[in-house]
């Protein structure tokens, strides 16, 4: 892949003295859904948090639209056009649904109404509960709100960390359906970290496999069959 929207090169991150990322490199092409797959604890979430400036990289490059963003504060990275939806604690339980969405929105005031309409059309339930405290929503509805917050922001790249984690099968199905709708209607670029291989397969165009703090392989979806042995070894699943 050349000329990616996001380029990560030789990224190293330490947390509490532990060398978690040991030279992560990959690219995300504009308009694609790229998935990073790997087992628990291989550094997927740390990769995303380092891209977002939550962790400072010890070494390496993060280029977004060709500009270096490595080590910038999270609010600057968000303002550059990256929208991040963490896997846990990803909404403000004490704010109302609409306050969460208003806080997430970072564009001009006059366009706020239009953006809210876009996400309310995707998630009609959220419109119904717009004045309710987010903490009073069910777990699945909270995850929908987190995704809606990621979508309402003006962004060029949407990053999702383990969106299926802890969700019931009904909500998982709905979540990925909404994600596909959003991608198809708005042509957004999405970077997805997921443990659930079968789900990621439904939406991704390109996949990277991660193991022990490094990306061990990357290939487009159509060439996945050729990498079945590697996938079995790294993810422990059969195609």
Binding residues for another protein, rule: CB under 8 A, are 52-54, 73-75, 78-79, 84, 86, 89-95, 99, 102-104, 106, 149, 153
Spatial CA neighbour of 178 closest among 124, 102, 238: 124
Strand 6-15: give its sheet, edge to edge.
18-28, 6-15, 59-64, 67-68
Looking at the Cβ atoms of 89 and 184, the one nearer to another protein is: 89
- Could you tell me how far CA 220 lies from the centroid of its own chain? 18
Output 149 or 231, the one with its CB closest to another protein.
Answer: 149
**Is residue 20 within 8 Å of residue 11, measured between CB atoms?**
no
Measured from the CB of residue 153, what is the shortest distance to another protein in angstroms?
Answer: 7
Q: Residue 146 or 231: which CB sits closer to another protein? A: 146
Provide, rounded to whole angstroms, the least separation between the CB of residue 78 and another protein: 4
Q: How far is the CB of 49 from another protein (least distance, A)?
A: 9
Cβ(70)–Cβ(80) below 8 Å: no
Closer residue to another protein, CB minimum distance, 86 or 163: 86
- 93 vs 239, beta carbon nearer another protein: 93
In angstroms, what is the minimal distance from the CB of 95 to another protein?
6
Least distance in angstroms from the C-beta of 123 to another protein: 18
Closest approach of Cβ 75 to another protein, in Å? 5
Measure the CA–CA gap between 223 and 225, rounded to whole angstroms: 6
Residue 43 near residue 216 (C-beta atoms within 8 A): no
Q: Name the DSSP class of 122.
A: H
Instruction: Closer to another protein by CB, 24 or 104: give it.
Output: 104
The residue among 36 and 104 lying less far from another protein, judged by its C-beta, is: 104
d(CA 236, CA 219): 18
Q: How far is the CB of 100 from another protein (least distance, A)?
A: 8
E strands along 105-224, which residues?
157-161, 189-194, 206-211, 214-220
Q: Are strands 214-220 and 157-161 parallel, antiparallel or unpaired?
A: unpaired
To which residue do tokens 């609409």 refer? 98
- Cα angle 111-155-201, degrees, rounded to a multiple of 5: 130
């Amino acid at each position: 892949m050349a000329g990616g929207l996001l380029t990560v090169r030789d990224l190293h991150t330490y947390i509490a003295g532990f060398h978690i990322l040991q030279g992560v490199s990959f690219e995300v092409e504009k308009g694609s859904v790229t998935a990073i797959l790997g087992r628990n604890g291989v550094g997927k979430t740390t990769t995303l948090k380092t891209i977002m400036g939550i962790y400072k990289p010890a070494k390496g490059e993060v280029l977004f639209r060709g500009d270096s963003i490595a080590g910038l504060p999270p609010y600057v990275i968000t303002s550059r056009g990256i929208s991040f939806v963490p896997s846990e604690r990803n909404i403000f339980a004490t704010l109302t649904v609409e306050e969460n969405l208003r806080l997430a929105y970072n564009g001009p005031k006059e366009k706020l109404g239009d953006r809210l309409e876009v996400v309310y059309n995707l998630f009609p339930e959220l419109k119904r509960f717009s004045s309710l405290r987010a903490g009073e929503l069910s777990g699945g509805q909270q995850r929908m709100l987190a995704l809606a917050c990621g979508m309402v922001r003006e962004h060029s790249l949407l990053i999702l960390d383990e969106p299926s984690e802890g969700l019931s099968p009904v909500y998982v199905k709905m979540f990925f359906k909404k994600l596909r709708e959003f991608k198809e209607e708005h042509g957004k670029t999405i970077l997805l970290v997921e443990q659930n291989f079968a789900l990621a397969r439904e939406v991704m165009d390109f996949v990277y496999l991660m193991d022990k703090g490094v990306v061990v392989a990357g290939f487009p979806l159509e060439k996945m069959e050729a990498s079945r042995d590697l996938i079995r070894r790294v993810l422990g699943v059969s195609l």
